[in-house]
Amino acid sequence: MNIFDAHLRVHTKGFEDLQTLAPFGVRAVVSCAHDALPFSAASSVLNHFRRLLEWEPRRLTANGIQPYIALGLRPRAIPASGTEEVLALLPDLLAQEGVVVVGEIGLDRGTREEVKVFRRQLAIGRELGMLCVVHTPGRGRAGATEKALAIVAEVDIEPELVVIDHVNEETIAFVRASGVWTGLSLQPPKLSPERAAKLIRDLLG
């Protein structure tokens, strides 16, 4: 079996973890930007991006896995200062070899700052014609997802360029009705394999 992991936080995995992927069929992964810790300034975010661009691909390649990269400001990763600097540099960073996705981006608490940054990154994805992976939070997921979809429509990005991630029983109907891609995140406690399988069976009738 050949597996493509479309959403892996490679920087949170030890080398021994990566060694176990290829023997189980993982052939390629998208290494997503993620706020493991709060970012205090633009320099912290950019250092994280450099790690994803320069170091993590080497670790994946060393284990026989094709690396792809996603870069973006997740809502909790919006730095205390320097957000405009990061957003100004993002298009050039997204143009680098191996970068295929804008993400994760999205909403967490739905603050004005989160909405502004989310909107800006969707516009960048639209201009570059790149897929955007949109995070939805564990708490208040339905409301945040509906708000994210409304912003997607306002930005006028093509629905096929948007993946709404962490979809569950509460949100799947209106996510699918919007025309964007539906992302099921098999990760406890977000969604078990059994629940994901039932969602798919129900969709297929």
pTM as predicted: 0.91
Task: Give kind and range of the element (H or E) at residue 135.
Answer: strand 131-135
Helix and strand counts by DSSP (H, E) for the chain? 8, 7
Structure confidence at residue 122 (pLDDT): 98
Q: How far apart, in whole angstroms, are the C-alpha atoms of residue 56 and residue 45?
A: 15
Residue 195: how many CB atoms within 10 A of its CB?
Answer: 14
| H-assigned helices in 25-81 | 42-50, 56-62
One digit per residue, pLDDT tens: the chain, 205 residues?
A: 788 878 777 676 767 877 888 888 889 888 888 876 778 999 999 998 998 998 888 888 888 888 999 999 999 899 999 999 999 999 999 999 999 999 899 999 999 999 999 999 999 999 999 999 999 988 889 999 999 999 999 999 999 999 999 999 999 999 999 999 999 888 877 789 899 899 889 887 7
Residue 193: how many CB atoms within 10 A of its CB?
Answer: 10
The domain segmentation of the chain, as residue ranges, is 3-204
CATH tag, 3-204 = 3.20.20.140
Q: How far apart, in whole angstroms, are the C-alpha atoms of residue 66 and residue 105?
A: 23
